[in-house]
Chains A and B, each alone.
Chain A
Amino acid sequence: MRYSRHAFVAACFLLLALFPLVAGSYGMDFATKIMIYALFALSLELLVGHTGLVCFGQTAFFGIGAFATVLLSSDTAPSSIAWLLPACMAAAAGYALLVGALSLRTRGVYFIMVTLAFAQMAYYVAHDTPLGGGTDGIYLTLKPVLGTLLDLDQARTLYGFTLACLVLVFGGLALLKRSRFGHALAGIRVNEQRMRATGFSTYPYKLAAFTVSGAIAGLAGFLFAVKDGFVNPEMLSWHLSGAVLIMIILGGIGHLRGALVGAFAFALLQELFKSEALFGALAKHWHLGLGLAIIASVVLLPRGLVGLPGQLRARLLGSPQAKEV
Chain B
Amino acid sequence: MNATPDSQTAPGNASRPAAGADVLLRGQNITRRWGGLLALNAVNVELTRGSVHAVIGTNGAGKSTLINILSGELAPSAGQVELLGQDVTHWQQPRRARAGLGRSYQRNTIYPSFSVLENCRLAAQAAYQRPWHWWQSAARCPHSGAIAEDVVARSGLGDLRALAAGLLSHGQKRQLEIAMCLATRPQVLLLDEPLAGMGAEETERMLAMLAELKSAHAILLVEHDMDAVFRIADRVTVMVNGSVLACDTPAAIRGNAQVRTAYLGEPE
Contact = CB atoms under 8 A, between A and B. Distances in A.
A199 B134 contact: no
A200 B113 contact: no
A325 B164 contact: yes
Contact of A184 (B112, B115, B125, B139): B125
B113 A184 contact: no
B164 A175 contact: no
A196 B93 contact: yes
A88 to B, nearest CB: 24
Contacts of A324: 113
B114 A178 contact: no
A105 interface: no
Interface in A179-201: 179-184, 186-187, 190-191, 193-201
Interface stretch (B2-10, B78-86, B103-111, B195-203): B103-111
A184 B94 CA distance: 13
B180 interface: yes
Interface of B: 71, 73, 92-95, 97-98, 103, 105, 109-115, 118, 121-123, 125-127, 129, 133-139, 141, 144, 164, 166-167, 180, 184
Given A180-B144, A199-B184, 14 more contacts: A176-B135, A179-B138, A180-B136, A182-B138, A187-B111, A187-B122, A190-B113, A191-B109, A194-B111, A196-B92, A199-B127, A200-B129, A323-B166, A325-B115
A186 B111 contact: yes
Given A194-B109, A199-B98, A184 B122 contact: yes
A194 B108 CA distance: 10
Nearest to A179: B135
Interface of A: 175-176, 178-184, 186-187, 190-191, 193-202, 323-325
B135 A181 contact: yes
20 contacts: A179-B137, A181-B134, A182-B138, A183-B121, A183-B138, A184-B122, A186-B111, A191-B109, A191-B111, A194-B110, A196-B92, A197-B93, A198-B184, A199-B97, A199-B98, A199-B127, A199-B129, A199-B184, A323-B167, A325-B114
A258 to B, nearest CB: 15
Contacts of B110: 194
A218 B131 CA distance: 24
Nearest to A187: B122
Contacts of A191: 109, 111
Given A190-B112, A190-B113, A198 B138 contact: no
Contacts of A190: 111-113
Nearest to B137: A178
B231 to A, nearest CB: 27
Contacts of A186: 111, 114
Contacts of B93: 196-197
Contacts of A195: 126
Contacts of B71: 197
A323 B165 CA distance: 11
A266 B103 CA distance: 45
Main secondary structure of the interface of A (DSSP, over half): helix
A46 B227 CA distance: 48
A132 to B, nearest CB: 36
A175 B140 CA distance: 13
A197 B118 CA distance: 17
Contacts of B92: 196, 201
Contacts of A187: 111, 122
A104 to B, nearest CB: 15
A184 B139 CA distance: 13
Contacts of B138: 178-180, 182-183
Contacts of B115: 325
Nearest to B121: A183
Nearest to A324: B113
Contact of B126 (A179, A182, A193, A199): A199
Nearest to A323: B164
A200 B136 contact: no
A193 B73 CA distance: 9
Contacts of A182: 138
A305 to B, nearest CB: 20
A207 to B, nearest CB: 13
Contacts of B94: 196, 198-202
A193 B109 contact: yes
Contacts of A325: 113-115, 118, 164
A187 B129 CA distance: 14
B97 A175 contact: no
A175 B166 contact: no
A214 to B, nearest CB: 18
A180 B109 contact: no
Contacts of A180: 125, 133-138, 141, 144
Contacts of B133: 180
A137 to B, nearest CB: 38
Closest 6 CB pairs of A and B: A199-B126, A199-B97, A194-B109, A181-B134, A183-B138, A199-B98
A180 B109 CA distance: 19
B252 to A, nearest CB: 33
Given A197-B73, A197-B97, A199-B127, A183 B134 contact: no
B125 A183 contact: yes
A194 B125 CA distance: 13
Contacts of A176: 135
